[in-house]
Structure 1
């Protein structure tokens, strides 16, 4: 009768090797998962907005069907997909304008001449104004601005998931993050497409209304702005209004007798 011991030894060796390989694989996977989890927690900014993709789609449908129905031919599903593809699986600190070009091609919205409103540190007031003057547009009254307003987003290199724990802070981590690059791009496009009379809502009673300390329309930073605008042969007018409460009331109720 043949000796079966060598065969058993081979079987035991194979089992041992399988267990060893399995253990190594488990360790590698565990390390990668730990590193992935650590990467999710390393940034100093707020994580991606919960339900980001659902919100993008909902806002797109609302804007194209109710707010500006003349844009109802825009494909919101493709817009959501292009938005996500712009940043997903990429280093959140390596964003470029080119990442958003496919998305920009899908929105392609032009604001009519004389209808553009810029703002700086006066978001609430500017938006109250465009709510009353419904044919006026801030950046957030455009399709892309409307969709992305107050949202945050980022992913991780090599991952198909969004990072809901943390995203890069533009000062503490990097300025070329996907949120900052996005707003720089859409702001630039919004400004480049402006034509005719352009209105700018600034708060001249705060410091740095325009780069430097300013108190009113006669303040130094506003004067700087006036000179820059006039050097480009653009008409500049500035109106002081020291009662912000009354101004807001008049924006909401322009027919009020106290506003005349």
Structure 2
């Protein structure tokens, strides 16, 4: 009996040991598969491939830095929670198809970052990005969208998410024209619409007269901002058509595209005026082109 019991016990131990070995092997295989899956999932080749470059590196740090700078230096009277703004911004596009972002996705962000704009200080622009912002920086009395908090934080940045994954896509994002409702295009359309709606008094506009149509139908200014000006608040639009120093003008205040713009604005019961190359703006251009004839000759008042 003792011999049989001992034999039975050894057999039982062997079964337990074999079961333990099998369990360890299966566990190791499971870990290996998980590691391979995670590596494969994170591989850039497995991410959605868009035509544009990926989200701006250090996106969070850049946007938080800009937010703190804006609140502490540019507008110290503004009371905002930058961490909350970042999380609200991220939630607008994270885990979503970057070609299917809606205006409603950005509404919570706009409500956190939008504040009143003083009357007579709005400057809209189209195809004059660099010059418009040089002007507001020097002149100090007009504001573009990029001088306001949401535009200031997002200026020149790119961002998009990955569908069904809580991650920012740093490999590729849709280009501006790759899809109409991509992450940052929808942001700028939403912010531009609200900026135009908030304008009051005199609205200034800087357009590029060195391209074929200064008032270009596909621009955000033509397709969105013009149509969201409130005639109950805006009484005058001042257009500045700017031409490259030393170049041949392609459009002007007397051109067909500006006449079309005038028709739209006057149809909204807003007074319209237009000036080609105002002196204050041309002075800025002359800083980079001092030897051009127009910059070397003192202009007399017309």
User: Which TM class, normalised by the smaller chain length?
Assistant: 0.7 to 0.9
Moved more, 156-165 or 227-236: 156-165
Q: Does 1:23 align with 2:63?
A: no
1:47–1:152 contact (8 Å) kept in structure 2: yes
* SS of 1:237 mapped into structure 2: strand
Moved more, 192-201 or 37-46: 37-46
Deviation at 1:48, TM superposition (A): 1.2
Could you say which structure has the greater relative contact order, defined with CA pairs below 8 angstroms and 6 or more residues apart?
Answer: 1
| Aligned pair partner of 1:60 in 62, 67, 72 | 67
1:169–1:175 contact (8 Å) kept in structure 2: no
- Against the structure 1 CA distance between its residues 138 and 245, is the aligned structure 2 distance closer, same or farther, given a 3 Å change threshold? closer
Deviation at 1:17, TM superposition (A): 5.0
Question: What residue is the counterpart of 2:183 in the other structure?
Answer: 178
CA distance in 1: counterparts of 2:215 and 2:148, whole angstroms: 24
Q: Does 1:132 align with 2:138?
A: yes
CA RMSD across the alignment: 2.9
Question: What residue is the counterpart of 1:122 in the other structure?
Answer: 128
TM-score w.r.t. length of structure 1: 0.85
| Aligned pair partner of 1:215 in 231, 246, 251 | 251
Q: Does 1:44 align with 2:51?
A: yes
In structure 2, runs of 5+ residues without a counterpart are 1-5, 218-248, 289-295
* 1:73-222 equivalence runs, <5 A: 73-172=79-178, 174-211=179-216, 215-222=251-258
Deviation at 1:32, TM superposition (A): 5.0
Deviation at 1:19, TM superposition (A): 2.3
Structure possessing the higher radius of gyration over alpha carbons? 2
- Against the structure 1 CA distance between its residues 250 and 259, is the aligned structure 2 distance closer, same or farther, given a 3 Å change threshold? farther
| Aligned pair partner of 1:241 in 272, 277, 281 | 277
CA distance in 1: counterparts of 2:21 and 2:280, whole angstroms: 79
* SS of 2:274 mapped into structure 1: coil
TM-score w.r.t. length of structure 2: 0.74
* SS of 1:140 mapped into structure 2: helix
Runs of 4+ displaced beyond 6 Å: 242-245
CA distance in 2: counterparts of 1:116 and 1:53, whole angstroms: 29
In structure 1, runs of 5+ residues without a counterpart are none
- Against the structure 1 CA distance between its residues 242 and 144, is the aligned structure 2 distance closer, same or farther, given a 3 Å change threshold? closer
